[in-house]
């Protein structure tokens, strides 16, 4: 049986932001990745690798949770200023320790030379490389180190985003293309099931928050005049919304029809839809930390 998932899972909610409890999210994601690996033989090895990183996130969260903040004051969210956006001078101790543990836990699963090279590369990563990665630029980290570093960074940001109550001020007309808390790009969108029937939410690739965006509006540029919806036969319950104004696309998972769909896992496993959209001339607007590319 798969772990319970969907936006109705335990967590906290405001009128426009939902945050699943992290143990529930990681359990659901890990099980979903393994279920997808069983049915997608060509991708099985990589999906299981991703599941292993998610298992580590769950284990580290249980063993070494982020200490509570000094101030319990609410975190102000106004859709313009991203209060948890990465900046120079950011805290590094927690995610560095987590990353060291992750690499140590993976050492026996990687070839000796790869493990040594990866550890050396990660040790040399500085703040500039981290900030570049969080902006989607892997020039300084490379494709091999990026998923490991992102796993540690995301675990830190996801806890940070849940450490204080949210004080959300709705602002009509504000751009909602990026996460209102940390400013990261979404992984994908979901059409929610009960009790949020039919509402669209975007899942943050970094802090794992979900924010509401009205439907029939481009999630990247906000336009609505040239939207189209595409699907391929092999990806059930997943389609992609394209925008002819900005020539981008973002996948939409129909959790209202299949609550088992998980944004990161199912986005990763539906590469045939990405390939089809690329053939149509559209570029991904979403960011999946397991899909970093040199191009």
pLDDT tens, per residue, the chain with 295 residues: 344 556 555 567 767 999 999 999 999 999 999 999 999 999 999 999 999 999 999 999 999 999 999 888 999 999 989 999 998 778 889 999 999 999 888 877 777 677 778 888 888 888 888 999 998 888 888 888 899 999 999 999 999 999 999 999 987 777 889 999 999 999 999 999 877 888 999 999 999 999 999 988 999 999 999 999 999 998 989 999 999 999 999 999 999 999 999 999 999 999 999 999 999 999 999 999 998 865 4
Rounded to whole angstroms, the Cα distance separating 103 from 116 reads: 10
Where in the chain are the domains?
A: 12-167, 178-284
The kind and range of the H/E element at 192 are none
Rounded to whole angstroms, the Cα distance separating 211 from 16 reads: 6
Domain 12-167 part of CATH 3.30.70.250: no
Identify the pLDDT of residue 2.
Answer: 44
Identify the pLDDT of residue 9.
Answer: 56
Identify the pLDDT of residue 181.
Answer: 96
Q: Tell the CATH topology of 178-284.
A: FdhE-like fold (3.90.1670)
Rounded to whole angstroms, the Cα distance separating 38 from 212 reads: 32
Rounded to whole angstroms, the Cα distance separating 227 from 229 reads: 7
CA angle 99, 181, 161 (to 5 degrees): 50
> Under 8 Å CB-to-CB from 49, ≥6 apart: which residues?
none
């Amino acid at each position: 049986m798969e772990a319970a998932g969907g936006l109705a899972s335990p967590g906290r909610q405001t009128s426009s932001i939902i945050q699943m409890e992290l143990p529930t999210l990681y359990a659901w994601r890990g099980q979903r990745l393994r279920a997808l690996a069983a049915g997608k033989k060509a991708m099985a090895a990589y999906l299981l690798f991703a599941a292993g990183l998610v298992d580590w996130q769950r284990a580290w969260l249980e063993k070494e949770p982020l200490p509570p903040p000094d101030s319990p004051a609410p975190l102000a969210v106004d859709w313009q200023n991203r209060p948890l956006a990465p900046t120079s001078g950011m805290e590094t101790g927690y995610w560095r320790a987590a990353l060291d543990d992750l690499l140590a836990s993976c050492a026996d699963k990687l070839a000796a030379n790869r493990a040594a090279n990866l550890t050396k590369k990660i040790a040399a990563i500085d703040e500039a490389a981290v900030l570049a990665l969080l902006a989607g630029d892997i020039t300084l980290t490379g494709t091999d180190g990026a998923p490991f570093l992102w796993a540690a960074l995301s675990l830190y940001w996801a806890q940070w985003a849940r450490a204080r109550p949210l004080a959300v001020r709705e602002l009509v007309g504000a751009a909602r293309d990026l996460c209102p808390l940390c400013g990261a790009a979404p992984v994908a969108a979901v059409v929610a099931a009960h009790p949020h029937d039919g509402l669209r939410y975007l899942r943050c690739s970094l802090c794992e928050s979900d924010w509401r965006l009205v439907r029939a509006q481009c999630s990247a540029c906000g336009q609505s005049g040239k939207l189209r919806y595409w699907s391929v036969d092999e990806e059930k319950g997943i389609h992609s919304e394209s925008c002819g104004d900005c020539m981008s696309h973002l996948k939409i998972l129909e959790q209202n029809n299949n609550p088992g769909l998980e944004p990161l896992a199912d986005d990763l496993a539906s590469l045939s839809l990405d390939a089809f959209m690329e053939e149509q001339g559209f570029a991904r607007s979403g960011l999946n930390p397991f899909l970093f590319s040199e191009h």
